[in-house]
Amino acid sequence: MRWNSCLNTRTILSAVLGLAAAISAPATDFLSSYKGIPYHDSRYHGGVLGGAQAIPGRVQCAYYDLGGEGIAYHDTTEKNEGSGGLNPADGSYLNEFCMHEAVDISYTKFHDAIDNNPYNKVVPEENQLYVGWTQPGEWFNLTVAVQQAGVYTIDLLYTSNRGGKISLDRNGQPLVSAVDIISTKTDQDPVAWRQWHHWNIVTNMAEVALPKGVCVLTLHVLTEGNMNFAWLDFKPRNK
C-alpha cells in the first residue's frame, strides 16, 4: 500500500477516521497478556516510557522485543545465522548481538564493498544492525511509545533479492496490509552473495493513524523472505 502518490481527500479522511477509531477502540487485552518486553542490554538502555522505542523516530528492527520464540518473535531456524554464525563470536557487541536468539541478526560492513557496494540505491550507515535471513511466516515484535497521537508515514531501510510482501500489526490487529517490497537484485552485480546487500529505502511505505501511548508493532514476512530489515522511520505526516 503506497499512498505517497495518491494523497487526496478520501485518503486523508480515511486516515483521520482510522485515528479516531484507534483512539476510541476499547482497550484490548493484548498488552495486558503480552509477555514480551522492550529490548535493552548493557549498551542499549531502551527508548522512552519503560524502554519502548519512540515514535516519532527511527525504530530499529534488531531491537525487537525480548521474550523469546512464540512471544516476541517467530523464526524458522533455531540458530542465529548471523550473530555467532556468519559473524563469529569474538566478544564484540556487534558479532555477538542476541547470538542466543533465533532471530538472525547481522550488521552492515564497509570492508570489501559488502554493504557499501556500488549497487546500493541508498548507502546505509556502517555497523547498522539488521534482521536478516528472513522467511515467510516469520515475525517479530517491536514495543513502541507513540509520543503524540497522529498520522505517521513509514519509511523502511531494507534489502531484498527477490521482492516479497510484509505487513504490520498493532497490538495483534492489522495495521498495514501487505506491502510490496521491491527487489534490489541487479544482474549488473557479478557477486552472487551480494544480492542480499543492495540497500534501499521504501519511502512512505504506508501512512498509519496511531494513538498516543505504548503499543506493540509486529512485522510479518508474508512472502519470499530473503529480505533484510534495518529500521522503520515513523514521521509525522507533512513534516
Q: How far is CA 134 from CA 28, 102, 104, in A?
A: 29, 11, 8
Is the preceding peptide bond at 56 cis, omega within 30 degrees of 0? yes
CB closer to Ca ion out of 104 and 233:
104
Per-position x/- string for 19-58, each x denoting binding to Ca ion as judged by CB under 5 A, each - no binding: ----------------------------------------
Return all residues near 12 (Cβ < 8 A) that are at least 6 apart: none
Rule CB under 5 A: which of 62-91 touch Ca ion? 75, 77
Indicate the residue among 104 and 169 with the shorter CB distance to Ca ion: 104
Assess 101 for contact with Ca ion (CB under 5 A).
no
With CB under 5 A as the contact rule, the residue among 54, 102, 151, 214 that binds Ca ion is 102
**Stretch 111-150 residues interacting with Ca ion (CB under 5 A):** 133
Binds Ca ion by CB under 5 A, chosen from 101, 104, 169, 224: 104
Nearest residue to 123 via CA among 95, 153, 155, 157? 157
> For residues 196-215, which are near Ca ion according to CB under 5 A?
none
Rounded distance between C-alpha atoms, residue 76 and residue 67, angstroms? 16
> From the CB of 97, what's the least distance to Ca ion, in Å?
13
Element (H, E) at 32: helix 30-33
Residue 139 or 199: the one with the smaller Cβ distance to Ca ion is 139
> Whole-number minimum distance, CB 83 to Ca ion, in Å?
10
Cβ distance to Ca ion smaller for residue 106 or 143: 106
Which one, 80 or 128, has the nearer CB to Ca ion?
80
Q: How far is the CB of 138 from Ca ion (least distance, A)?
A: 5
Distance between CA atoms of residues 134 and 150, nearest Å: 31
CB of 229 to Ca ion, least distance (A): 11
The residue type found at 100 is H
54-62, 104-112, 122-130, 195-203 -> range binding Ca ion (CB under 5 A): 104-112
State the Rg of the chain over Cα: 18
Asked whether 124 and 197 are in contact (CB, 8 A), the reply is: no
Site size with Ca ion, rule: CB under 5 A: 5
Q: CA–CA separation, 84 vs 99, rounded Å?
A: 5
- Rounded CA-CA distance 100/76 in Å is 14
Asked whether 35 and 42 are in contact (CB, 8 A), the reply is no
* Residues in contact with Ca ion by the rule CB under 5 A: 75, 77, 102, 104, 133
